[in-house]
Amino acid sequence: MQIFNIVIAGVGGQGVLMASKVLAESALASNMDVKQNEVHGMAQRGGSVISFVRIGEQVHSPVVMPGSADMLISFEPLEALRYIHFLKPGGRLVYNKVSINPSTVAAGMAVYPGDVEQQIKAICPNSHGIDALAIAREAGNGKAVNMVMVGTVMKHLPLDEKIISQVVEQLSQGKAAEVNSRALAGGAAA
């Protein structure tokens, strides 16, 4: 099997790392080789975050090269545009339409582009935006945006949806397990 390259992007604090963990654990539970890599350290401080998940029979490098991602999952529209060049031709982009101001915009030093979604569409026709925050709130917690996003892309991954659901339950504790499962299902239905 060809290696399936996934890039997950977002803003520090949105749960990019947890979403990456779900996909990596699901690949392991499916008896596939997997490497997952992100650069963190300052990730919780509102900075741009990017994570790679590579799934296949044998995976060497933990890094996805620009122009080679089968899928880009972005938790924020501007971050989708920032990392859209990682997609290979024909790659799929799914993004959360709810924007978060970068500090540069918040400080009045830059302007959040008004046409992010149009730019995304022009570069990647195979793109799909959803309101993940609304779905997460409906599931019981606005912080479950990450699980909504995983739910949205589930059917396009080389992984069994049931295995992903089980992994989400295993990785969540207490009340969060119910919320996350609902968020996953909500994303899948979006």
Partner 1 sequence: MKKIISGNEAIALGFGDFGGVFASGYPGTPSTETLEEVARLGQVYCEWAPNEKVALESAIGGSIAGGRSLSTMKHVGVNVAADALLTLTYTGVNAGLILMVSDDPGMHSSQNEQDSRNYAKFAKVPMLDPANSQEAYDMVRAGFEISEQFDTPVMLRTTTRISHAKGVVVPQEKIAAQVGEWEKNVPKYVMLPNFAKLKHVEVEARLLKLQEYAETTPLNRIEMRDPEVGFITSGVTYQHVLEAYPNASILKLGMSHPLPEKKIREFAGSVKRLVIAEEMDAIFEEQIRAMGIAVEIGKNKLPLCGEINADILQAAVSGSSAKPVSPVAGLPMRPPVFCPSCAHRGLFTILSKLKCFVSGDIGCYTLGALPPMNAMHSVIDMGASISAAHGMAKVNVIAGRDEKPVAVIGDSTFFHSGMTGLMSMAYNGGNALVIIMDNRTTGMTGGQENPGTGETLQGMPVRQVDMVPLVKALGIDNVAELNTYDLKETEAAIKKALATPGPYVLIDKNPCILRYKIRKPAMNVDQEKCTGCRACLKVACMALGLNADGDDKKQKVRVDPNVCNGCGVCKQMCKFDAMHELEGENNANL
Q: What is the contact surface with partner 1 in residues (CB under 8 A)? A: 11-12, 21, 24-25, 27-28, 33-48, 59-63, 65-68, 78-79, 81-86, 100-113, 119, 123, 133, 142
Give the residue with the Cβ less far from partner 1, 104 or 126.
Answer: 104
Give the nearest distance from C-beta 110 to partner 1 in angstroms: 4
Say if CB 149 and CB 94 are below 8 A apart: yes
Distances (CA, A) of 24 to 55, 101, 131: 8, 29, 25
Give the nearest distance from C-beta 119 to partner 1 in angstroms: 7
Give the nearest distance from C-beta 148 to partner 1 in angstroms: 14
Give the residue with the Cβ less far from partner 1, 12 or 158.
Answer: 12
Give the nearest distance from C-beta 173 to partner 1 in angstroms: 14
Give the nearest distance from C-beta 62 to partner 1 in angstroms: 4
Give the residue with the Cβ less far from partner 1, 67 or 162.
Answer: 67
User: Per-residue DSSP letters for 54-110?
Assistant: EEESS---S-PPTT-EEEEEESSHHHHHHTGGGEEEEEEEEEE------HHHHTTSS
Give the nearest distance from C-beta 125 to partner 1 in angstroms: 16
Say if CB 71 and CB 157 are below 8 A apart: yes
Give the residue with the Cβ less far from partner 1, 141 or 169.
Answer: 141
Give the residue with the Cβ less far from partner 1, 119 or 188.
Answer: 119
Give the residue with the Cβ less far from partner 1, 115 or 162.
Answer: 115
Spatial distance between the Cα atoms of 28 and 126, rounded to a whole number of angstroms:
28
Spatial distance between the Cα atoms of 55 and 163, rounded to a whole number of angstroms:
15
Spatial distance between the Cα atoms of 49 and 58, rounded to a whole number of angstroms:
26
Cβ atoms < 10 Å from Cβ of 132: 29
